[in-house]
Amino acid sequence: MKIQSRKLQLGRILNLLALSYCALLAAGVSAQDDPRHLNTVLDIDALYTPLQSQPIHGETAVLLLRELQTKHYSEVQIDDNFSTVVFDSFLDALDGSHLYFLKADIDQLSAYRYTLDESLKSGSVDTGFEIYNLYYKRILERLIYAIDLIENHIPEMDFTLAEAIELEREDAPFATSMAELDELWRLRIKSSVLSLKLTGDDDTEIAEKLAKRYRNQLSQVLKTNDKDIFQAYLSTVAQAVDPHTAYFSPIDSENFNMGLSLSLQGIGAQLTTEDEYTKVAELIKGGPAERGKELQAGDRIISIGQGVDGDLLDVVGMRLDDVVAQIRGEKGTVVRLNVIPADSVSESEAHIVSITRDTVKLEDQSAKKEVIELSYNGSDYKIGVINLPTFYFDFEAASRGEEDFKSSTRDVKVLLEELRSENVDAVVVDLRNNGGGSLSEANQLVGLFIETGPTVQIRYSGMRNGFTRSFGDNDPEVAYDGPLAVLVNRTSASASEIFAGAIQDYQRGLVLGGQTFGKGTVQEIIPMDYGQVKLTRSKFYRISGASTQHRGVIPDIGFPDVYDAYEDIGESSLDGALPWDTVRPVEYRAYHSIQALLPELQELHTQRVQESPDFVFLLGQIERTRELRENETLSLNEAVVKAEREVSRRADFEADNTRRLAKGLPAREWVEDELDEDEAATVVQNDDIQNSDADAAEDEELEEVDPLLLESGRVLADFISLNARRLAAVQETPARR
């Protein structure tokens, strides 16, 4: 499954359509209450009614093209190339897995490949409606076929056959006949049946669950209206320019302005859609979901229950805003999510996550500190760690004149003062999973570590007539001048990249971890007569002149990270992402000779991690995940699936025990699969406690220490030693002369 793609980017829009379907149960209405619910009638001719565009749609399309051409950062040409991008993107967003359209459909629609630009210029979106109407008909046909198969043919399914489904069909050819499509869907439904079968459901329970799911989907597909199609089509048009440009209709503008993080304040998560699933895109730092440690980014939600014992309602295929309505609730109440883990491929490995709803407050995302003590090379070190989940600034409180308004820079400054009073030997600024925030805060935060100087450059729209402006720190006060490292990963983005890039360019500190996201563009919301457009207006550049766009910031010393298994995370994985380029550098001075010390620092780091149980385990975990994601098919043979799952469990178990033994921790005992894995882990942990309270205490203490933070501390210890040796050599040189 791909984490980032144009299809995923459009998912938030297309979940309004048949791709994501909406279940009536989300609104507390049973499927039977809908007069159009079909308990017996499954006839395509009776169901299918083409949808038509409205005059306001064409008028808005003309205005959107004008905004794109006059205000976007890039020079936008509405021509045949633009038409081709829109055509391919719209088809991919509707049917990226090639499960609905026939090859003959694509051949027929290809007549519009080079004409969409002209129709849009003339104020017509009829072609977009025609493409969707054909898709609308095909998806109704598929749902009718699926319901019939589920309700009448599950007992006939043979799970001893050597059958399989393709996991990635984006490059697969379109089916050439209805019979071929039927076969694809037969295998698809069989896979869903097997997943539920492996959870212990019998044929009757499986038929009931899947029939309910697909009949709900069919009921909601029939509610698709012209506004849904218009929103999807114009969003595709906008994103043909770059993946961060988007159009929002009046209704979706209201939802966008509210913000997903606010909409989901009940659990503190951001969701998106991928195929028929609602997927966790990101956990908000400090929120209930992130604090609970059970829900992870990439998990797919298949059902939701209210309270500690409420019935689980299936949400596969439900539209995103209705899933949000199910998750949202009063503070202090419990919501239960049945999720497929990010690294799993079927519902058979789903598990329940219970989360108590709470309000995600600004202070939950505030900077926090800790001190790590480590012994290394015969010396003891105290490493201060500042975790910054986002670059925040309370604009409303500041505008009201409140003196204690929240600011990431002000909070970090206080924490640095506290760490200095604790006599730390070095500081790590942890920006892992920090998606950005206030540009001014990133600029001021750099200022806490340098005297004065530029921190970032911004090039504004208009490649020919645009201009570049530098921003910097004018305050000579330095909050901390000691050894420094910045820890980043693939989801560190935007303002995080500005800060890390500036620290690296100044050689003020070491940048450690993984390559950052690579989002070096700035967007602006522009109101329109009918909705609004989010446009890319400018780009970030480092003081060295290099853009953070596309490539991100490359760390001085790379650490392995779970995101290494996902090649489709980051700006470079997005279709149409603006390219990396450079502008003129500005004048600045280096604080240390970090680049000269890097070869020795890298060698020492490499020697350490080769013998580190945690790093060896992490590398193995990454490789196992990568291998799993490289699987192109999923077996439908029950015995094969069980055997593969057991092999995977055994590999994870043995790798973890190898790590534990290498760290001097007691090995866990193997528990057969009959017992739920979470329960098994609890049982074994309890056995450990009963056998040895001392071992359990040691286990807890060691397990809580983040190995990447520990290694960051050791790298800084090496830097302190090597830099002192270098300075001593420099001071001795004149005397020798």
- State the pLDDT at residue 462: 58
Q: Which residue has the higher pLDDT, 34 or 67?
A: 67
On whether both 104 and 231 belong to a single domain, the answer is: yes
Q: Which of 351-360, 432-441, 694-703 has the lowest mean pLDDT?
A: 694-703
On whether both 167 and 65 belong to a single domain, the answer is: yes
713 pLDDT above the threshold of 60: yes
- State the pLDDT at residue 692: 39
- State the pLDDT at residue 622: 92
318 pLDDT above the threshold of 80: no
Q: Is residue 623 part of a domain?
A: no
Give the Cα separation of 403 and 407 in Å (integer).
11
Q: Which residue has the higher pLDDT, 688 or 441?
A: 441
533 pLDDT above the threshold of 80: yes
Residues 6+ apart with CB under 8 A from 140: 44, 47, 48, 218, 221, 222
Among the candidates 244, 274, 297, a domain finishes at 244
Give the Cα separation of 578 and 569 in Å (integer).
16
Q: Is residue 466 part of a domain?
A: yes
On whether both 648 and 542 belong to a single domain, the answer is: no
On whether both 268 and 227 belong to a single domain, the answer is: no
pLDDT band at 494 (very low <50, low <70, confident <90, very high): very high
Given the DSSP bridges, would you call strands 379-387 and 426-430 parallel, antiparallel or unpaired? parallel
243 closest CA partner among 567, 535, 452: 535
Residues noted as catalytic: 494, 505, 519
On whether both 215 and 70 belong to a single domain, the answer is: yes
Among the candidates 191, 209, 244, a domain finishes at 244
On whether both 233 and 108 belong to a single domain, the answer is: yes
256 pLDDT above the threshold of 60: no
On whether both 341 and 401 belong to a single domain, the answer is: no
Query: What is the residue whose two structure tokens read 């509610």?
Result: 223
258 pLDDT above the threshold of 60: no
23-53 as b/e: b if 16+ CB within 10 A = bbbbeeeebeebeebbeeebeeeebeeeeeb
482 closest CA partner among 409, 383, 388: 383
Averaged pLDDT, 537-548: 95
Q: What is the sign, positive or negative, of the torsion defined by CA atoms of 115, 118, 120, 122?
A: negative
pLDDT digits (tens, 9 = 90+) for 564-614: 888 888 999 898 999 999 999 999 999 999 999 999 999 999 999 999 999
Chain-wide mean pLDDT for the chain? Answer: 85
Greatest alpha-carbon pair distance for the chain in Å reads 99
Q: Is residue 580 part of a domain?
A: yes
User: Containing domain of residue 26, as a range?
Assistant: 6-244
- State the pLDDT at residue 3: 33
Query: What is the residue whose two structure tokens read 């999510």?
Result: 337
Tally of domains within the chain = 4
pLDDT digits (tens, 9 = 90+) for 337-357: 999 888 776 777 888 999 998
Q: Which residue has the higher pLDDT, 180 or 325?
A: 180
CATH number at residue 298: 2.30.42.10
- State the pLDDT at residue 234: 96
Q: Which of 400-409, 425-434, 611-620 has the lowest mean pLDDT?
A: 400-409
2 pLDDT above the threshold of 90: no
On whether both 500 and 454 belong to a single domain, the answer is: yes
DSSP state of 669: P
Q: Is residue 729 part of a domain?
A: no
Given the DSSP bridges, would you call strands 334-340 and 351-356 parallel, antiparallel or unpaired? antiparallel
User: Position 384: which residue type?
Assistant: G
- State the pLDDT at residue 454: 97
361 pLDDT above the threshold of 70: no
CATH number at residue 511: 3.90.226.10
Q: Which residues pair with 430 in a beta bridge?
A: 387, 487
Q: Is residue 510 part of a domain?
A: yes
On whether both 394 and 521 belong to a single domain, the answer is: yes
Beta strands in 505-651 (DSSP E): 510-513, 521-528, 531-541, 557-558, 633-635
pLDDT band at 394 (very low <50, low <70, confident <90, very high): confident
On whether both 288 and 391 belong to a single domain, the answer is: no
pLDDT digits (tens, 9 = 90+) for 276-306: 788 888 787 678 888 888 898 889 998 899 9
Averaged pLDDT, 519-526: 92
pLDDT band at 268 (very low <50, low <70, confident <90, very high): confident
Averaged pLDDT, 222-232: 91
Q: Which residue has the higher pLDDT, 465 or 400?
A: 400
Q: Which of 234-238, 445-449, 642-646 has the lowest mean pLDDT?
A: 642-646
- State the pLDDT at residue 395: 78
On whether both 79 and 163 belong to a single domain, the answer is: yes
Among the candidates 532, 561, 588, a domain finishes at 588
pLDDT digits (tens, 9 = 90+) for 136-150: 999 999 999 999 999
- State the pLDDT at residue 13: 35
Give the Cα separation of 199 and 347 in Å (integer).
8
- State the pLDDT at residue 704: 58
Q: Is residue 175 part of a domain?
A: yes
- State the pLDDT at residue 8: 38
438 pLDDT above the threshold of 60: yes
For Cα atoms 50, 56, 60, give the angle at the middle one, nearest 5 degrees. Answer: 110
63 pLDDT above the threshold of 90: yes
Q: Is residue 422 part of a domain?
A: yes
Q: Is residue 347 part of a domain?
A: yes
pLDDT digits (tens, 9 = 90+) for 725-736: 888 877 776 544
pLDDT digits (tens, 9 = 90+) for 85-136: 999 999 999 999 999 999 999 999 999 999 999 999 999 999 999 999 999 9
On whether both 239 and 267 belong to a single domain, the answer is: no
